[in-house]
Amino acid sequence: MTVGNTTTQRPDDATSTGAAVEIDQVAVRFRTKKKDVTALRDVSLRIEPGEFVSIVGASGCGKSTLLKLVSGLLRPSSGQVRLHGEDVRGPRRDIGYVFQRAALLEWRTARRNILLQAEMRRLPKAQVRQRVDELIEMTGLTGFEDAYPNELSGGMQQRVALCRALLHRPPVLLMDEPFGALDALTREQMNVELRRIWRETGTTVLLVTHSIAEAVYLANRVIVMTPRPGTVAEVIDVDLPVERDYGQTMSEPAFARATGRIRDLLGATTTAE
């Protein structure tokens, strides 16, 4: 029952097919007028379909950059990124992306914000309507379908963003600090919901977070990154049952071991976190 699987890289299979996400020796350098910034260096990862992977690391270590690479919003300076075995060359539409801020259109109601996904993808209306109702119910937004974003609480706005990201049943869901702006209680509740949604949908999830508890509670594996230039410090296998009650999980020894290890790693590599 060891918690920390202290390999920086999973031993890749000879055949690299079958993985949901593969990142191979990737480096990202940003060239600005003043100086060059190496955001990521030598990052290699392999994420299996249906996995829930959390990413933690100091601010500015390249977590958002990593998600942008996977979604194709950003090209690596070197190395390769593959999604379902396919090279990522431009923005990918077979993903769902949840940004740190809900990024809702303020002139659209909750429902119509969710429907934006369908409109952009030109999905048939009739089929989508039922799916939206399901998602609204699943995320507890019932009764607020016709509210505008400014009439919704922060947690509700994030739920709308989550529904929008799930509408087209993406095989891969990328979430960049989606609950960062929420109060502790709402955040815990969103965690429980996200865990349930993940189990119901079987989506591969990559979640960036600053909360160690959130990272461990939700994930099968936690990727701990070093400060800039970011690389993978350690990948931690979370040894918790699939069925995770929130309160009970917090008091599990395996939970304490995992969070402790992550805290050590982050503490050892950063001055204050």
Ligand X SMILES: Nc1ncnc2c1ncn2[C@@H]1O[C@H](COP(=O)(O)OP(=O)(O)OP(=O)(O)O)[C@@H](O)[C@H]1O
Q: Residues interacting with Mg ion, by CB under 5 A?
A: 64
104 CB-near residues (< 8 Å, 6+ apart)? 113, 149, 157, 160, 161
Residue 228 touching ligand X (CB under 6 A): yes
Q: Could you give the string, one character per residue 68-107, with x where binding to other proteins holds by CB under 8 A and - elsewhere?
A: x--x-x-----------------xxx-xxx-x-x-x-xxx
Among 59, 80, 142, 153, binds ligand X (CB under 6 A): 59
Taking CA atoms, 38 is separated from 41, 46, 114, 227, 273, in Å, by 7, 22, 36, 11, 21
Between 18 and 140, name the residue whose CB sits nearer to other proteins: 140
Residue 178 touching ligand X (CB under 6 A): no
Residue 65 touching ligand X (CB under 6 A): yes
Among 150, 242, 251, 271, binds other proteins (CB under 8 A): 150
Taking CA atoms, 70 is separated from 21, 81, 93, 133, in Å, by 7, 7, 11, 29
Residue 181 touching other proteins (CB under 8 A): no
Least distance between ligand X and beta carbon 67 (Å): 8
Between 134 and 151, name the residue whose CB sits nearer to other proteins: 151
Residue 144 touching other proteins (CB under 8 A): yes
Residue with tokens 């952009």: 120
Q: Could you give the string, one character per residue 85-124, with x where binding to ligand X holds by CB under 6 A and - elsewhere?
A: ----------------------------------------
Give the separation between CA 169 and CA 132, rounded to whole angstroms: 11
Residue 140 touching other proteins (CB under 8 A): yes
Between 49 and 154, name the residue whose CB sits nearer to Mg ion: 154
- With CB under 5 to 8 Å by kind, the binding choice for 96 among other proteins, Mg ion, ligand X, none is other proteins
Binding footprint of other proteins on the chain (CB under 8 A) = 68, 71, 73, 91-93, 95-97, 99, 101, 103, 105-107, 109, 116-117, 119-121, 140, 143-144, 146-148, 150-153, 156, 185-186, 188-189, 192-193, 245-247
User: Which chain residues interact with ligand X by CB under 6 A?
Assistant: 30, 32, 37, 39, 57, 59-65, 228
